[in-house]
Structure 1
């Protein structure tokens, strides 16, 4: 698989991971069946897509990218869906996460 396809699959993993986080919030401690089921399904899909990506991109780069992008995406879901507005310290931390993801992918060695 080419790196471009691997990164597209990684974006799918981020989408699934972010969806899982949103569903987990709505599952109310896994006391609600449908959101709990959706959480489980999206987590399995997320792990499956990550395993595909790791065939091409090293595990460290894959997981650093996934975790960083998932944190940013989940923050955006929190803002939009749950009206959770980050403070300035959180925004600075998120900017550092974005910087780290860019450094890992653009400057780090992948082999």
Structure 2
């Protein structure tokens, strides 16, 4: 069940981060409230996940997979540029998360 909480926390964090641009620096009320609400849900779910999953592993998954997803969302939906350097950087994040999980499983 802890990994279900973690996946939902990651999804909520991705939603909140995706909405940041629409807040226009937190000057627009409803997008700002939705963004902050998504982050609140993400942290609540993450706090449930770390009851079972080691906090370092949970946070690495949460932040690493969230970062990779946001790069894809930015390029796909927000018109952000992608370069070989960005791809390498995100790949290193994902590899680091995998290594951490392999080491944490023993």
Give the TM-score band, short-chain normalised: over 0.9
Q: Distance in 2 between matches of 1:65 and 1:89?
A: 22
Q: Distance in 2 between matches of 1:43 and 1:94?
A: 22
C-alpha contact (below 8 Å) 1:27/1:35 kept by paired residues: yes
Q: Distance in 2 between matches of 1:26 and 1:56?
A: 35
Structure 2 residues without counterparts, runs of 5 or longer: none
Q: Distance in 2 between matches of 1:26 and 1:68?
A: 23
**2:34 is matched with which residue: 38, 53, 57?**
38
C-alpha contact (below 8 Å) 1:57/1:110 kept by paired residues: no
* Per-residue Cα deviation, 1:14-56 (whole angstroms, up to 9, x for no partner): 1100111111111010011111011111010000000000000
Equivalent residue, structure 2, for 1:109: 104
Equivalent residue, structure 2, for 1:62: 58
Q: Distance in 1 between matches of 2:105 and 2:43?
A: 21
TM-score by length of 1: 0.90
TM-score by length of 2: 0.94
